[in-house]
Each structure stands twice: as structure tokens, then as C-alpha cells.
Amino acid sequence: MNEGETDRRVVDGRFELESRLGGGGMGTVWRARDLLLHRYVAVKEVRPPDIDLAEYDPGAAEMLRQRVLREARALARVEHPNVVTIHHIVDGGEGTYPWLVMELVQGGSLADRLGQGPMAPAEAARLGCGVLDALRAAHEAGVQHRDVKPANVLLRTDGRPVLTDFGIAAIRDATALTATGSIIGTPDYMAPERVSGHSGGPAADLWSLAMMLYVAVEGHHPLRRGTTLATLAAVLQEEVPPPVRAGSLMPVLSCVLVRDPEARPDAGTVARMLAAAAAQPPAHGPGTTSYPLAPPVPPPLQTTDDMQAVPRRGRKPKRSPGVAVASSVVGVLLVGTLAWKVLPGGNDGNKGSAASSPGATGQTQQTSPSATSSGTSTKTTNLLTPNGIRTAIKAIEKETGRDSFGGITVYPDYVSADVMVKGSRTEYDNYTYRADDGVEKGIIQSTLGSGYEPVDVRDFQWDTVPALFTRAEKELKVKNPTFRYLVVQLPWKTFNTPAYMSVYLSDSYGTSGYLSATPRGKVTKVVPANG
């Protein structure tokens, strides 16, 4: 049978195969017509490389059948517009191979798109947002994909991504279908912990997503070698070389492509970083961005006399100008790494920049008016000031008509805020404020993680922020900080953790530290650069 043609076979008396869409070592995907509902669908035919497998190794054949059934069940558990929809399964029972009937996504795959050339960072970030939304929905349903790669990301005709091929997905409490000693997944995109023999959790899917985005913007895979074994060894042992075209995606890649899964930011943080990357204008050259690159935001962590301590694991900051791939797994406090650092406008990190002025107290002049206590206007370029923060929040509240937030991150030149949807305590939209451009709505629309609650920013005393940065300068042991930012952390009812804020300092080599404080400015945690 020639590729693209069929003998018009009809599966299950209903699905007429029309043309071959693609395939691999484990089967073929067909374009088919549903004769009952008069619509086109995709039909996945499972076909092992050895068609006689069922005769001489019935156990392996049955394992393959069960894996396909598991894919169907995994897909059925995840209802999301960025996850391919399964319509039907045809299973003839033991000794046969099932067929999966799914929605037909007609825009080709990401692999097809990348065959035409690399993507711009903002374009790749937008695609990454969609794929991450699909992964978050899967993880929420207890499903890990375990094979995120360009061939498994389909594109609708409007460019929206759809995650497919959950054939090796691990479902919580039902993960015993991988053969001992076998490699399940694609080595190029497999997380180090999975290569080393561990099943891996949701963080492994985040690694695969970040590696896919690296390939999307760079046009090549940084760790692919001539053989599978060599590629696996590279994933385990070699550092990921710094990209030259990643632009606004650098923060995401630097934070996620680290060997220690506990050191990677959570999906919510990655979503915010991708949204920020997607909103950035085109860079002015390879490897440049229009804003400073930030280390990841840690999960909630407080220890103080009047607050319950929340045990969390993380990592010590890495000192690497490239993607910091750790040589060992460590269980220390989560502190973000700033990698591939590029300051805006070619700034080399000299002390004169607004981002590096001591204490971030806003002594320089501003590009847009900011209200002061006397009712007059001043001008500063730095939003990391009490007036800068108030101005940004006021502008966002006025634009959206909402005053409840799912998180706020303040950088020297812009503010990223997750603003709660009216009437909901879980759903939010992402907005960005810049002094020059005002408030812009981002592409992220998502929900808070389990146990988290919206934060009321009226409880925060922003006048304490300069003192917090002054203390950070003294105690975080970052000798020549070139970047700083502030994060408003959500209340976490699971551990009765109240809202708080954290301030961060980093240098050009990825050395970073942070301190946390109550909304009234009382310091509750200090994590210096030496951990």
C-alpha cells in the first residue's frame, strides 16, 4: 500500500480509512470518515514492528494492548481544549490490537512546523503556554505525559497547540506497564531523572516542554548525539549550552533545564514566565531581550514565631553562565538561578542602572507620573518603589475593575499580575503593567493551584519595601547584584500559611538569594546566596 492511500478498509463497520497521516514503530495514524456521524476523525492503528509478536511473545503483545487501552483511559480523564479528544476505542480483546478514534487536528504537527525553520521566542512562548495548560490539566487528573516532543504536539489551523499521544502516560496508581530495563519515551526530550531510572513526576514533563522550546527557537537539539546511548549519556552528564536565539524565553529555559527536579519552578510559575515571554516585543539580535531575566519564584515558605513553618525542598543557587545542570540532587531551600543574564539596552550591570541601584529605592527619574502622598507627580524609571507598586496596582484595578489577585511579581520596569475573575476564587487572567504602555492583558487564563487562595494586596505595607531591599543588600551575600524583584505570595490554606512577600537579588553569574517578610514588612526568612 502506497503512503497516502488505502484500500478503503472500514474499521468496526463505521470508520472508513482514507489516507495515512503519519506513523512510527508502534503503528499508524489514519484520516478516516465516521460513516455514522458523517465527520472526519483520526484513527490510530496499533501495529508493532514485528507483526508476529502475538504468536511468539503473547505476553509482550498483551502488554502493548494494555498500554493502548491505558492511553485511551488517560485521554478520557483529561478534558481540555489543548488535549486531543478521544471519541471511541475498538478493542477485539486478548490477542488483538486496539484502534483509537480521536478528533482530527488538521494543522500538522510542531515537528512539521519546525521543519520550515526555527520559531521566534514570543511565538514559541505562546505555543508553550498552550502545551503547559494541557500538561497542567493532565497533572491535575493524575496523568503524566512522559513523551512531550514536537511530533506529539499537533497544531490547529489557527496555530493553537494540541497535545496528543498519551500512549506511555503514567497514571497515578497505575504505572506498572513499563518493561524493566526498557527505555519508554524519546531520549532527546527525556528528563535526567527518568534517564537515571526514576519514574519522574510532573517536573519531568516540564523539562521535556522546556527542551522542546529550546529546539523550537534554536533550530537544533543541544544534547542529541549520534546514538541513543550517547544521547542518554549527554542528558545525564552534560550541561545544556546557552542558546543564542532564545531571547525572552531565556528565564524559562534557565530555570527548568536543571537536573534536580526539585529545583525546577512549579507549573504555575512557569506559566507566568511564559506569559511574560510571549508578551515581549521582538529582540534586537540573537540572545537579547527587552527586560532582565529573573530566577524562578519559590513555593510558599515561611518560618517565624507566629507562623507555621512549611517544609519544602529546593536547591542551592548555581554559579553558571549557561543553563545550570546540577551534578547532584540536593535538598536545600529553593533559590532561583539567573542564567544567560542579559540586561536591557545592552546594560552591562553597572551600578548606575535602575535595576541595580542600591536598595531599589527609586532615586532616579521616572518615565511616567506616579502619585505621591502630597498629590504631586514625580518621575522614576523604577517600579520597585512604594509609589511604583501602588501606581501599577491602581492601574490594573482600574483597567480590570477587579481588586483580588492570584499573585503579583514586580520587576524594575514592569509588573506581572494574575487578576482573579469576578465571582471566582480560583480562575484568573494575567495582566502586565508598564509605565510607558499602561495595562495589557496577557494570554494566560488559568486557575490557582490546590489549596491556594487569592491575596488582598490592601494588607501590604509597600513603604517597607526599600528597607527590605536594604537588608537584602546586607544579608543575602550577593556582592554585585545586577537584578532584583519582588513577589507577592498567596495564602496557602493547606498548611495555614498566610500571604507574604519575598525580595530577590541576583548577579550576572546566577548567584542569588532572597528574604521573605509578612505583609507588614517583618522579615521571616533569610536565604543568602551561599544557601
Q: Which three cell numbers stand for residue 305?
A: 514565631
φ, ψ dihedrals at 172, nearest 5°: -55, 130
Please give the Cα distance from 438 to 363 (Å, whole number).
22
Q: Among 76, 62, 69, 70, which residue's Cα sits nearest to residue 98?
A: 69
CA dihedral (421, 425, 429, 431) in degrees, to 10, reads 100
Please give the Cα distance from 340 to 324 (Å, whole number).
10
Question: How many H helices and E strands in the chain?
Answer: 11, 20
- DSSP code of residue 118: P
DSSP 294-309: -PPPPPP---BTTB--
Per the document, the length of the chain is 531
CB-facing half-sphere around the CA of 461: CA atoms within 13 A: 11
Q: What SS3 state is found at 476?
A: coil
Provide the annotated active-site residues.
147
Element (H, E) at 4: none
Angle at 55 between CA 51 and CA 58, to 5 degrees: 100
By 3-state DSSP, what share of the chain in percent is helix, strand and coil, each rounded to 5? 30, 25, 45
